[in-house]
Amino acid sequence: MRTAVITLVAGRHDHLRRQRAALDPGVHHVVVAMGEGEVERCRAVLGDRSDVIGVDATPAGLPLARARNAGAEHALEHGAELLVFLDVDCIPSATLLPRYRDAAATTDAALLCGPVGYLPPGADGDLHALAQPHPARPVPAEDELVPGGDHALFWTLSFAVTAGTWRRIGGFCEAYVGYGGEDTDFGQLAARAGVELVWVGGAWAYHQHHETQSPPVQHLADIVRNGGLFRDRWGWWPMGGWLQAFAERGLVRHDAATDRWVLA
């Protein structure tokens, strides 16, 4: 099964370098560079012959949904039969691609999601031993496929779809710009299209440490804007835990009459 790994990049070039080093040299790695000058920076890291395409940033933020669609279409144009999306922070295990390929060969029209383990700062050596799985997501046995997953738990750190399933879902909604919401929306699009979410044991990705905030206050405006778009499309608010945490800090408020979260 001809496979393309698709990675979005806007900075974190050391993470990109470690990701590439963990991929088989024969794998088609499509890097979607977002923002001015990012194509050149990525090629400086990966080499001039690397497959890097560019997507312009916007004043409202990074066009993550549009960039994923662009990466997928580029890979499909070059003959990809399986699309594997991998966040730039993620190092693929040696079993990630084989397990996604095996799952794609045995499941029909599925959204395939492997486990992600979080690494401590400066992690080196046995990454599997160092990584801590996310507590809110299943960790199947290494050779297990668990169907019937909750589409609301879908995320974009690591997932795979066949070319036919990608076309059936229709790609990401490009109305989302900046951080948050587009991944949950994609999960709902998959559910609406009758595409089952399957947890894929053994398809491990290891998330490299980077500084962040909890809740992600740096993405406050994006989360409120994209959350509102999602609510308009699907009738409920995603990212509820973050919105509530923002409200406790006096950063947002909920208007019960209109069911809108707004900046305080």
pLDDT along the chain (264 residues), means of 10: 97 96 95 97 94 94 97 98 98 98 94 97 94 92 97 96 98 96 98 98 96 88 97 96 96 95 94
Architecture of domain 3-207: Alpha-Beta Complex (3.90)
Domain ranges for the chain, please list them.
Answer: 3-207, 217-263
Residue 211: its pLDDT value, please?
79
Residue 214: its pLDDT value, please?
83
Q: State if pTM tops 0.75.
A: yes
Residue 185: its pLDDT value, please?
98
Residue 210: its pLDDT value, please?
85
- C-alpha 109/C-alpha 264 separation (Å) is 43
